[in-house]
Copies of this chain bind each other. A is one copy, B any other.
Amino acid sequence: MAKDKKQPRPKAETPKGFRDYFGQDVTERRDMLDRIAQVYHRHGFDPLETSAVETVEALGKFLPDVDRPNAGVFAWQEEAVPGGGTAGDWLALRYDLTAPLARVAAQYRNDLPSPYRRFAMGPVWRNEKPGPGRFRQFYQCDADTVGSASVAADAEICGMLADALEAVGIDRGDYLVRINNRKVLNGVLEAAQVREDQAEDVLRQIDKFDKVGREGVLALLTTGRLDDSGARIDGVGLSEAQAGPVLAFLEAKGADNAATLDNLSTAVGGSATGAEGVEELRQIAAMLAAMGVAEDRAVIDPAVVRGLGYYTGPVFEAELTFEILDEKGRKRQFGSVAGGGRYDGLVERFTGQKVPATGVSIGVDRLLAALRAKGLAGAQVAGPVVVTVMDRDRMSDYQAMAADLRAAGIRAEVYLGNPKNFGNQLKYADKRGAPVAIIQGGDEAERGVVQVKDLILGAKIAAEASVEEWKSQPAQTEVARADLVAEVRRIIG
């Protein structure tokens, strides 16, 4: 006892930036991911579930200069566990699903099929500053094809992404997969004679195309501009002639893929890399058409610039095009829910061999938010039928009623709190979202009947009325005990 007093009571709190998911939150996400998994499975992708913990070396998050891992990961040093890890080794929680894929692709390279199509769904952890809607543990949902240099792999993933969005309930027309290619941009930079040391700056500026538009980007690529506060932003220093192909690239979107590809051919001028990039996009467009994925679902769009700096070939992004009201009540497009592209050197860090890969990552929380915004996040999870307890001694009878309902596939439970205050039982049923409550007092038991109360009809009054008032409601029916299941089924439909 004295010992208990010495230690203060711990706070019942999740650590900062972590959260719990209850009931419907869990079910809705599970349901959404199951639908996506079915689409991925049908496309020949296999599930992979790696351990949450990796060596920091495998994650590639070691900072050799300070002799400890990157602050962005949750990491700790192994203690001396006999027969366990080596004391002093750094372990860390995975911060994405790609680094573990790289490790798996290297570790099992002799056993896995090649190409290897895999999908992964699970939590990742970031040791970063949390904020509104920004957590230190969150779900990712990735699909990647490892070991194929063919853009057929990219086309497949774009088509699969469109299928996945429809599978979770997004209507055709409410989403668009937009596809671009880093090689085309490289060709444009070549055509514009942008020096290698300027390329990164150019990338940074075209990333602002959405925000500042054509004139803004032109200024940023050339002599600079004043921002809203009047501060001067330096330009990259290209001539207007050099900026031309870059802008032509960004604005190359035509009425259809054919027109866009023609515009891009012009924009890349004589660049061989550029021509290769355009040809890749042409093939992707042809393959999508062959797969029955029309341009209203997935389309070539050079204005997709996010990720162009990171990826090495095709890049893609899925946008939800319907409008929602933002926190200020203004209409805006929901925006991006998935992105991906082609990247090299996935396993190179481990094996020294370049292995081409392409993949997509769906923003699980964003997509779920979109489904909720559209009222698509699955039907309300049914609350259980609550069998109330009038006579504590007849618990077996109540358990039998619940068992009968469950045997008929109806979710049901007996009230297990203190049954003394009947009002508490009704409040409990309310909190559980129960569609129906069952009541059987002593006299009803003697007569072999039960009261079946439709709580959806009688919800509002239920919480306030006395047992007697409540019993008199029209939403309440007396049926023979033998008809209990049939009556409940009639009410919940």
Q: Which positions in A face B, CB cutoff 8 Å?
A: 6-7, 9-23, 25-27, 30, 41-44, 46-55, 57-58, 60, 64, 71, 74-76, 78-79, 81-86, 89, 91, 93, 100, 103-104, 106-108, 113-115, 117, 123, 125, 127-131, 136-137, 145, 147-150, 152-153, 155-156, 159, 163, 283, 286-287, 289-292, 347, 349-352, 384, 386, 395-397, 399-400, 402-403, 406-407, 409-414, 416-418, 428, 431-432
Contact = CB atoms under 8 A, between A and B. Distances in A.
Contacts of A403: 159, 290-292
Given A12-B103, A12-B351, A103-B12, A137 B51 contact: yes
Contacts of A113: 428, 431-432
Given A21-B48, A79-B71, A399-B287, A406 B13 contact: no
Contacts of A12: 58, 103-104, 106-107, 347, 350-351
Contact of A413 (B117, B136, B290, B386): B117
Given A23-B46, A44-B412, A71-B81, 16 more contacts: A10-B60, A10-B349, A12-B347, A17-B84, A19-B51, A20-B48, A30-B47, A42-B412, A44-B432, A52-B52, A52-B93, A71-B79, A113-B432, A114-B417, A150-B395, A152-B416
B55 A74 contact: no
A451 to B, nearest CB: 19
A185 to B, nearest CB: 24
B55 A131 contact: no
Nearest to A147: B417
A186 to B, nearest CB: 21
Given A12-B58, A14-B51, A152 B20 contact: no
B75 A76 contact: yes
Contacts of A84: 16-17, 127-130, 136
Integer count of this chain's copies in the complex: 2
A281 to B, nearest CB: 14
Nearest to A427: B113
Contact of A417 (B48, B57, B148, B351): B148
B74 A48 contact: no
B48 A409 contact: no
Contacts of A129: 81-84
25 contacts: A6-B64, A10-B57, A10-B58, A10-B60, A12-B350, A15-B85, A16-B85, A18-B53, A22-B48, A42-B412, A51-B137, A52-B93, A53-B74, A53-B137, A79-B127, A81-B127, A84-B127, A148-B416, A148-B417, A159-B403, A283-B395, A286-B396, A291-B399, A291-B400, A292-B400
What 7 pairs between A and B have smallest CB-CB spacing? A44-B413, A12-B106, A76-B76, A290-B396, A18-B51, A10-B57, A148-B416
Given A13-B107, A44-B432, A51-B19, A399 B123 contact: no
A43 B148 CA distance: 48
Contacts of A283: 395-396
A340 to B, nearest CB: 16
Contacts of A399: 152, 155-156, 287, 290-291
B49 A26 contact: yes
Contacts of A14: 50-51, 54, 103, 107
Contacts of A74: 53, 76, 91
Contacts of A287: 395-396, 399
A50 B18 CA distance: 9
Nearest to A56: B10
Contacts of A402: 291
Contacts of A21: 47-50
